[in-house]
């Protein structure tokens, strides 16, 4: 990765210009060609660095219900957890962590009823114990941006 | 006319990297590209979409050290701790939530660094902040899933 890759990554993490030819707009800003920007963004995607170019959804404004779940799972059942969380679009992140609560995942659902249904199904299928629903009470910071 | 929910559920899959990336959405919904773009702009103006942007994987960018910290704070000092922690550029998320054991005064922090020494330095600094009662380092052992929120309506019904 060179400086131009870094500038492109920085810029597209802040936002893709909402115009008919966004990569052309980026090229003008960065003083290069549309072809160059397209080729580089494709390469960044192929390298696995760019995961998606899309809308970052503010679920609260859609009246959705979200929380972090902490639970305990038998590490031998980790593949059960993986297959059931992969099946639910409502689960965005899931990690096995080094802690007495060893399973952590985030669920965002259309409403609390769906939320509880999803968590209940994961609990049953993977044998979770001590399941805790942890609502976000205050946001001090939310800024997911990585410098190249 | 396509509803905002239908629209965003499809748009959330993300763009192809091509010269006119909004053309596929336009075709899908029988809209012009200008209509697709103004719909996205309106959803941003309404706060329903924070931004239209790249999501990146931090590991291939060299951020090899990624940790969640649970920081228990004195009740009157949570805001001060949250503000101090948020100043680190390496901190992406900083939220107040209950600790799973029931302690209501807990701050959750996600930290990403390229070097272990920097991670240790940040954790050490946070542990020394005024009002901090204890720090638990919850290193991830297995990443089971990591995606972007991709639907605003559900795949299941209760």
DSSP string, A70-86: EEE--GGGHHHHHHHHH
pLDDT digits (tens, 9 = 90+) for A114-134: 999 999 999 999 999 999 999
More confident residue, B150 or A60: A60
| Structure confidence at residue B33 (pLDDT) | 97
Q: Which residues in chain B are contacts of A23 at CB distance < 8 A?
A: 17, 19, 21
Provide φ and ψ at A30, rounded to 5°.
Answer: -95, 5
Q: Is B127 helix (H, G, I), strand (E, B) or coil?
A: helix
- The domain total for chain B is 2
Q: Which of A15-19, A31-35, A62-66 has the lowest mean pLDDT?
A: A62-66
| Structure confidence at residue B149 (pLDDT) | 78
A19:B146 CB<8 A: no
Nearest-Cα distance to chain A for B25, in Å, is: 12
- The domain total for chain A is 2
| Structure confidence at residue A145 (pLDDT) | 78
In a domain, A25, yes or no: yes
| Structure confidence at residue A120 (pLDDT) | 96
| Residue of A35, B2, B62, A99 lying closest to B11 (CA atoms) | B2
B48:A64 CB<8 A: no
Q: Are residues B95 and B39 in the same domain?
A: no
Structure tokens at B14: 């993300």
In a domain, B151, yes or no: no
- Closest CB to A59 among B89, B149, B156: B149
Cβ atoms of B47 and A62 within 8 Å: the answer is no
**Which of A15, A52, A109, A117 to substitute to test the interface with B, most B CBs within 10 Å?**
A52
**Could you tell me which residues come within 8 angstroms of residue A32 by beta carbon, excluding any fewer than 6 positions away?**
A4
CATH number at residue A117: 3.30.70.920
Range of the domain at B82: 59-139
Confidence at A20, pLDDT banded by 50, 70, 90: very high
Confidence at B131, pLDDT banded by 50, 70, 90: very high
- C-alpha to C-alpha distance for A101 and B10, rounded to whole angstroms: 35
Confidence at B155, pLDDT banded by 50, 70, 90: low
Cβ atoms of B67 and B108 within 8 Å: the answer is no
Token look-up 């050290």 returns B65
- C-alpha to C-alpha distance for B20 and B16, rounded to whole angstroms: 9
| Structure confidence at residue A94 (pLDDT) | 96
| Structure confidence at residue B38 (pLDDT) | 97
**Which of B154, B155, B157 to substitute to test the interface with A, most A CBs within 10 Å?**
B154
In a domain, B101, yes or no: yes
| Residue of B62, B60, B67 lying closest to B115 (CA atoms) | B62
- C-alpha to C-alpha distance for B131 and A94, rounded to whole angstroms: 30
| Structure confidence at residue A143 (pLDDT) | 85
Range of the domain at A78: 59-134
B15:A130 CB<8 A: no
- C-alpha to C-alpha distance for B97 and B70, rounded to whole angstroms: 9
Q: Are residues B93 and B115 in the same domain?
A: yes
Q: Are residues B75 and B132 in the same domain?
A: yes
Is the pLDDT confidence value at A9 over 90? yes
pLDDT digits (tens, 9 = 90+) for B56-115: 988 888 888 999 999 999 999 999 999 999 999 999 999 999 999 999 999 999 999 999
In a domain, B68, yes or no: yes
ipTM of the complex: 0.87
DSSP string, B119-152: HHHHHHHHHTSTTEEEEEEEEEEEEEEE-----S
pLDDT digits (tens, 9 = 90+) for A62-120: 999 999 999 999 999 999 999 999 999 899 999 999 999 999 999 999 999 999 999 99
- Which 8-state DSSP code applies to residue B83? H
Q: How many other CB atoms sit within 10 Å of the CB of residue A139? A: 12
- C-alpha to C-alpha distance for A61 and A78, rounded to whole angstroms: 33
């Amino acid at each position: 990765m060179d400086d131009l890759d870094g500038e492109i990554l920085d810029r597209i993490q802040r936002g893709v210009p909402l115009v008919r030819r966004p990569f052309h707009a980026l090229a003008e800003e960065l003083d290069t060609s549309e072809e160059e920007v397209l080729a580089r963004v494709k390469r960044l995607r192929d390298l696995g660095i760019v995961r998606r170019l899309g809308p970052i959804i503010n679920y609260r404004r859609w009246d959705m219900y979200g929380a972090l779940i902490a639970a305990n799972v038998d590490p031998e059942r980790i593949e059960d957890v993986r297959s059931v969380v992969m099946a639910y679009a409502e689960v965005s992140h899931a990690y096995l962590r080094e802690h007495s609560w060893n399973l952590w995942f985030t669920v965002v659902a259309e409403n609390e009823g769906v939320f509880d249904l999803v968590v209940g199904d994961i609990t049953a299928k993977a044998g979770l114990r001590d399941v805790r629903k942890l609502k976000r009470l205050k946001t001090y910071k939310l800024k997911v941006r990585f410098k190249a | 006319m396509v509803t905002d929910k239908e629209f965003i559920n499809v748009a959330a899959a993300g763009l192809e990297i091509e010269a006119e990336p909004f053309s596929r959405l336009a075709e899908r919904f029988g809209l012009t590209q200008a209509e697709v773009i103004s719909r996205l702009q309106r959803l941003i103006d309404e706060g329903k979409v924070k931004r239209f942007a790249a999501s990146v994987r931090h590991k291939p960018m060299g951020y090899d050290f990624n940790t969640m910290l649970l920081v228990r704070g004195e009740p009157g000092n949570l805001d001060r701790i949250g503000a101090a922690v948020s100043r680190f550029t390496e901190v992406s998320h900083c939220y107040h939530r209950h600790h799973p054991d029931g302690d209501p005064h807990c701050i959750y922090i996600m930290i990403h660094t390229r070097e272990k020494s920097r991670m240790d330095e940040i954790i050490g600094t946070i542990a020394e902040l005024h009002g901090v009662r204890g720090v638990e380092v919850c290193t991830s052992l297995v990443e089971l899933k990591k995606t972007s929120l991709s639907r605003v309506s559900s795949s299941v019904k209760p």
